Structure 1
Amino acid sequence: MAEDARSNRYLSLLERQRIATLRRDGLGVRAIAAQLGRAPSTISRELRRNRLAHDAGYDGDLAHSRARDRAHRPRRGRLFTDHELRALVQAKT
């Protein structure tokens, strides 16, 4: 999905890169959140979820790549897999 087409609900690549820079500069979670206009819990969760192995830091580009991979889980639709539900929906139309 194109970066500009994504909702503000998700962190952008630029925001993740800024988190990495601000974290490297020694800012805390609340200070980073204030600068980005995000909730501290969002920043904390992002850092925890995408921290590199052995607390080596946070890489915004890698974190964004991982987030995009998680967002594109291949899933079949519920109506495709649940034949009983599909029959019920088709009967209503």
Structure 2
Amino acid sequence: MKFGGKARDKDKTTVIYNSNITMTDIPLEAYDYVVNGKPALEWVMERQVVKTDKASGIVNDANETMNNPAYPLELFQRVITVSLETMKIVRAQPKLDLPK
């Protein structure tokens, strides 16, 4: 998975899943949900990359782990929904007035 656009001008509203699937119109607000200093969507993108460990030769592939080739795409779509809904709840909370 990678963002659309050029390297310098990433288009976060577009994510290229593979040569056949491109997700468009991803709301930028979905990137407001941050976990451990990183938007949850970007975390998913990083973790779903198929990688081979150089030292061991072990292939890390979420598709094989879940026995579902669509798993990374479905996970990304679910995290978009979770991110938007979580931020809706957070923004609806009253301001916390702490004594100074």
Query: Normalising to structure 2: TM-score of the pair?
Result: 0.32
> Bigger relative contact order, structure 1 or 2, given CA contacts below 8 A and separation 6+?
1
TM superposition score normalised by structure 1:
0.34
Higher-Rg structure is 1
